[in-house]
Chain A
Amino acid sequence: DIQMTQSPSSLSASVGDRVTITCRASQTIDTYLNWYQQRPGKAPELLIYAASSLHTGVPSRFSGSGSGTDFTLTISSLQPEDFATYYCQQNYNPPITFGQGTRLDIK
């Protein structure tokens, strides 16, 4: 199975900050990488697909980049509703696998 490793596991930041979360795959996955946001008590929601494509309705302050084994999710200017947990997920090879999550808290 392909292992997905996110860093950091948790992060404290302030409204207006620029934040970057990284995700590393244990083998190359081209751009078969998605990002999800999960707010407390809610189901995950798709943010970014194919490493860099913004899902419909997702604010443009979110962006994704990377290919191969190294990927990043960037939030350009944090808003209060962005404090949540973020997961990367690969769909290059079954079984699909998720990163362990990055919890983003208010500083």
Chain B
Amino acid sequence: QEQLVQSGAEVQRPGASVKVSCKTSGFTFTGYFIHWVRQAPGQGLEWMGWINLNSGHTTYAQTFKGRVTLTRDTSMNTAFMELSNLQSDDTAMYYCARESRGRLDPWGQGTLVTVSS
């Protein structure tokens, strides 16, 4: 069963960083891309970037360039998203999703990141 399982909810202070993990199973890790998408409360889906799980090459949305870092650990079959200099408007659900031929499937269950002083 192809599955993505994300790390648990986080509460961070403004200015801090957060690192979310996305553990994969049921497929060949290095054969795919992982995308990260966030969803602010009551809002739509916003693409953040992707990582080639084989090469480690990344592409980031302009909105997040300089603040987001995507990495992966092939020994753990896990992808990571780190977002720095958090502000209150970064409070959102963060999702990882596997890309295959342009389709995002499956998705992780989501990680709620709350930024609050």
Contact = CB atoms under 8 A, between A and B. Distances in A.
B61 A95 contact: yes
B105 A43 contact: no
Interface of A: 32, 34, 36, 43-46, 49-50, 55, 87, 89, 91, 94-101
Most buried by A among B61, B104, B110: B104
Report whether over half of chain A's contact residues are helix, strand or loop; otherwise say mixed: loop
A32 B109 CA distance: 25
A2 to B, nearest CB: 12
Given A34-B102, A49-B102, A95-B61, A43 B107 contact: yes
B30 interface: no
A44 B102 contact: no
Report whether over half of chain B's contact residues are helix, strand or loop; otherwise say mixed: strand
B44 interface: yes
Task: Please classify how large the interface on chain B is, using the bins under 10, 10 to 19, 20 to 34, 35 or more.
Answer: 20 to 34
Contacts of A34: 102-104
B77 to A, nearest CB: 19
B108 A91 contact: no
Contact of B35 (A36, A87, A96): A96
A9 to B, nearest CB: 10
Contacts of A43: 95, 107-110
A98 B105 contact: no
B41 to A, nearest CB: 12
A65 to B, nearest CB: 17
Contacts of B35: 96
